[in-house]
A = this chain, B = another copy of it.
Amino acid sequence: MQRREFIQQAAALSVLPVLGAPAYRRAPLAVDGTRLNAWLTTFNGIGRTAGGINRVAYSEADLAGRAFTLDLFRQAGLTPRIDAAGNIMARIAGGSRTTLPPILIGSHVDSVTDGGNFDGPVGSFAAIEVARTIRAANHRLRHPLDVVVWQNEEGGTIGSKIAIGELSRADLDKVARSGKTIRDGIALIGGDVSRLGEVVRRKGDIACYIELHIEQGGLLEKAGLQIGVVEGIVGLRWMEVGIKGMSNHAGATPMDQRHDAMLAAAKFTVAVTDATRAEPGRQVATIGRITAMPNTTNVIAGDVVLTVDLRDLNTATLARFQQRFEQLGVEIGAATGTTFTFRALVDSEPAIADARVMSWIEQSAATLGLTRQRMPSGAGHDAQEVARIAPMGMIFIPSVGGISHSPREFSNAFDITNGANVLLHAVLAADGA
């Protein structure tokens, strides 16, 4: 049925006024959506537990998922190799007379703990299917086409960080969710930490990077649109906020003699939310974690620790809100007889999508008759790393209910097929540009 739906959409193209339609329209290509979705269905059994998909990097299930993925490359007529970082790579050679840099497409196949089957595999398998389609059609690209499956995206975009030379030696000793160090994990999946320098790409090494991914939010579904053209991946500031009050008897301490850290935390949570919502823009701030001490029904909390997750596409906006939140801490501390301290946990900078890559994605969606909008990615992706050395773009497809990192994560097969076709045509557009 999904296949039929796509054919209907493709058929609808003929009545659309397509301005400046590129040369490849003469031989329109389309992926095999049934095949692509069948791969995802089979993959759904790997690492499936009662709690959800558990293919955390370097686990047995991750190894099984990578073995399955390597087989898909081979079925596609590609020759995959595992580079020193542990990323899976395969290439379709470019035109013989050019020395153009490769177009890079791909995603990841590792998952979070108790996650779903769509975050990563959709983009990875679609990239393989796109390469297979181009190869099967004997369509000769000018650029080489590299397909990549990055290792350990969910544990901190490790594979892509290594590929741009941004993972430190110290990071190798950090312990991943599997319980193994990244160093041991890389060895386990067939990499070689002594040769990490060999895989580092620099500016100019990659023509562009395009990644298809599920949205992980509800914007597209809410708007009733089929394709998201990602404008960039938001930067984030993670702050740990410590609030020091005074623990005391809940019955014997009058309301006006309290130094209630829980009340201060509540006022701060409301104020941070109000401040974030008070301005136009797509900035988001979340208090997701809280610990109160002693955390007892009949004792006024003396200490609270909470976290703020602040995200936006604009660095100046991040700095402005961060400063505003710290000011709110000072004000609320004074009003409640408590003291706020702020500690930076993680800072990551926004990664802006390349204007030309966005236009290729947009044109491809238009050519295929798919509804679309520009939007930020609130979640992090390998694309944010690659953006530091190459023009980057991302294609989003709807997530049902806006749910991800959950066993309830789901995207419809027809949307996955649409996304893969947009990726295919964006690659062709990039190659033709």
Contacts and interface: CB of A to CB of B under 8 A. Distances in A.
B270 A255 contact: no
A408 to B, nearest CB: 10
B251 A380 contact: yes
A195 interface: no
A190 interface: no
A314 interface: no
A284 B249 CA distance: 11
A117 interface: no
Interface of A: 215-219, 222, 234, 236, 238, 247-257, 260, 262-263, 265-270, 273, 276-277, 282, 284-292, 295-301, 307, 309, 311, 345, 377-380, 402-406
Majority SS at the chain A contact face: mixed
Contact of A250 (B273, B288, B299): B288
Given A250-B309, A263-B270, A266-B269, 14 more contacts: A217-B251, A249-B379, A249-B404, A250-B284, A251-B378, A255-B273, A255-B284, A262-B290, A266-B266, A286-B297, A288-B292, A288-B295, A288-B299, A290-B295
B252 A377 contact: yes
Contacts of A257: 217-219, 222, 402
A288 B273 contact: no
Given A251-B380, A288-B298, A270 B277 contact: no
Given A266-B266, A269-B266, A297-B289, A402 B253 contact: yes
Contact of A260 (B219, B286, B295): B286
30 contacts: A216-B249, A216-B252, A217-B253, A217-B257, A234-B251, A247-B406, A248-B403, A248-B404, A249-B378, A250-B309, A251-B378, A251-B379, A253-B284, A255-B273, A255-B276, A255-B284, A256-B277, A260-B286, A262-B269, A262-B287, A263-B270, A265-B269, A266-B268, A267-B270, A286-B299, A288-B299, A288-B300, A288-B301, A297-B307, A299-B405
